[in-house]
């Protein structure tokens, strides 16, 4: 299914000027990584490591929103011999916590950015584009998006239906607005998925229901599949907090 594309006419460069003020305070970064193979008994008693239910989830790049469905199996932690991977969490008194089999390189990474960023945007499209900076640049791989090089337009797919983009469009459609954005973030844990992680049972079942070809008569099945699992899935996680405020 082709993702919705919104087209915004080109403008002189000075109308796209972003006026920004940065105030950045960094705390020293502290990294702790101590993982080992736990016995079957230790694994049964251990609790999951923080945030290990976040990776493997489906993600809709158009709405910039998680889907709640998991293409990747993030529940299975037990190996065939009953063992698992246990990691020591120094932020929880060194407790041994369990990783799912799909997760690798889990670590405590204490890092805070107290960042005051005040930026003024002259258009709703510019603000929506700013929202896509939170997403890996490779999000468009395989989507076959080729705007006409002879036409002065800008194609916006990522984030075109996000809450921030909708807020900006509502304001700009009623009057001329400038948009200010400020943010603050901290992170405490991070990990990513291993090579070729195991697929979830739900994903495999729904995948088998897809017709071999996309046509008008089969479009419903593909739309249902994308509504359920999104366009992408989350492969890496940095767990912490991120606050963002947008005013018009």
pLDDT tens sequence across 203-248: 999 999 999 999 999 999 999 999 999 999 999 999 988 777 777 6
Is residue 136 in a domain? yes
The values of phi and psi at residue 114, to 5°, are -90, 95
Task: Please give the residue range of the domain that contains residue 24.
Answer: 6-247
For the entire predicted model, the pTM comes to: 0.63
Domain count, the chain: 1
Is residue 185 in a domain? yes
The values of phi and psi at residue 192, to 5°, are -145, 175
pLDDT at 124 over 90: no
Q: Which two tokens stand for residue 97?
A: 């916590």
CA-based max dimension of the chain: 66
Model pLDDT for residues 67-90, shown as the tens digit of each residue: 999 999 999 999 999 999 999 999
Q: Which two tokens stand for residue 110?
A: 């204490």
Distances 170 to 62, 163, 176, 246 between C-alpha atoms, Å: 18, 11, 11, 13
Distances 43 to 56, 89, 95, 100 between C-alpha atoms, Å: 21, 15, 12, 11
Say what the pLDDT of residue 34 is.
Answer: 86
Q: Which two tokens stand for residue 11?
A: 């403008």
Is residue 118 in a domain? yes
Is residue 1 in a domain? no
CA distance 111 to 185: 9
Query: pLDDT class for 140, splitting at 50, 70, 90?
Result: low
- Phi/psi region, residue 39 (left: phi>0; alpha: psi -120 to 50; beta: rest), is beta
Is residue 213 in a domain? yes
* Residue recorded with tokens 């009953």: 82
Tell me the average pLDDT across 47-56.
Answer: 94
Is residue 174 in a domain? yes
Residue 54 CB partners (closer than 8 Å, separation 6+): 234, 237, 239
Is residue 206 in a domain? yes
3-state DSSP call for residue 88?
strand
Is residue 134 in a domain? yes
β-partners of residue 186 are 112, 241
Q: Check if the beta carbon of residue 131 is closer than 8 Å to that of residue 159.
A: yes
């Amino acid at each position: 299914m082709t993702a919705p594309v919104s087209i915004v006419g080109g403008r002189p460069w000075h109308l796209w000027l972003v006026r920004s003020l940065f105030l950045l305070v960094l705390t020293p970064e502290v990294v702790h990584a101590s993982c080992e193979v736990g016995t079957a008994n230790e694994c049964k008693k251990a609790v999951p490591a923080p945030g290990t239910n976040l990776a493997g989830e489906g993600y809709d790049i158009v709405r910039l929103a998680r889907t709640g469905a998991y293409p990747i199996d993030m529940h299975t932690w037990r190996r065939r011999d009953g063992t698992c991977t246990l990691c020591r969490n120094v932020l929880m008194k060194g407790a041994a916590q369990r990783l799912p089999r799909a997760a690798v390189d889990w670590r405590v990474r204490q890092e805070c950015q107290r960042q005051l960023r005040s930026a003024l945007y002259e258009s709703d499209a510019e603000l929506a584009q700013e929202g896509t900076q939170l997403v890996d640049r490779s999000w468009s791989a395989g989507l076959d998006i080729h705007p006409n090089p002879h036409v002065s337009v800008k194609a916006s797919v990522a984030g075109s239906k996000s809450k921030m983009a909708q807020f900006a469009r509502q304001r700009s459609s009623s009057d001329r607005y400038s948009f200010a954005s400020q943010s603050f973030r901290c992170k405490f844990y991070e990990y990513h998925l291993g090579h070729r992680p195991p697929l979830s049972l739900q994903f495999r079942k729904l995948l088998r229901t897809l017709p071999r070809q996309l046509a008008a008569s089969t479009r419903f099945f593909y739309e249902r599949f994308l509504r359920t699992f999104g366009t992408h899935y989350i492969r890496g996680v940095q767990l912490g907090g991120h606050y963002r405020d947008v005013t018009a």
